[in-house]
Amino acid sequence: MPVMRLHYHCEACEGSWLAEGEAVLEADCPFCGTHDVFVYKTDEHVLEADDAATMARQLAAAMREAVAKPAPRAAERPRLKRTG
Ligand SMILES: [Zn+2]
């Protein structure tokens, strides 16, 4: 999952802060405690060298796993059932 940098700005106390996450979520202001402060901006996380190496290993592992598994055939996919 891509990690995003989330930019928050609290209108109650004019406080700004950053967090990282895989999804955009409201957060409580760490300065004044206001609940559900919205993200006003997101950046793609800039990976450090160590993170890039970790991600490359995870990607390689995921690809090995994907190659080992047979692709699902059409007949094995769940079919919709008529209920009435
Ligand atoms: Zn605040």
- Tens of pLDDT, residue by residue over 4-27, are 899 999 999 999 999 998 889 999
Mean pLDDT of the chain: 84
pLDDT of residue 18: 95
Domain total of the chain: 1
Cα–ligand 1 centroid distance for 29 (angstroms):
5
Cα–ligand 1 centroid distance for 5 (angstroms):
19
Cα–ligand 1 centroid distance for 47 (angstroms):
29
- Predicted model pTM: 0.53
- Confidence tier at 33 by pLDDT (50, 70, 90): very high
Cα–ligand 1 centroid distance for 59 (angstroms):
39
Rounded CA separation 30/52 (Å): 30
Q: Give the domain extent around 55.
A: 4-66
Q: What is the mean pLDDT of residues 44-67?
A: 78
Token code pair at residue 4: 């995003």
Domain for residue 76, yes or no? Answer: no
Q: How far apart are the first and last CA of the chain?
A: 40
Domain for residue 55, yes or no? Answer: yes
Residues 62-77 have pLDDT tens digits of 888 888 877 666 667 6
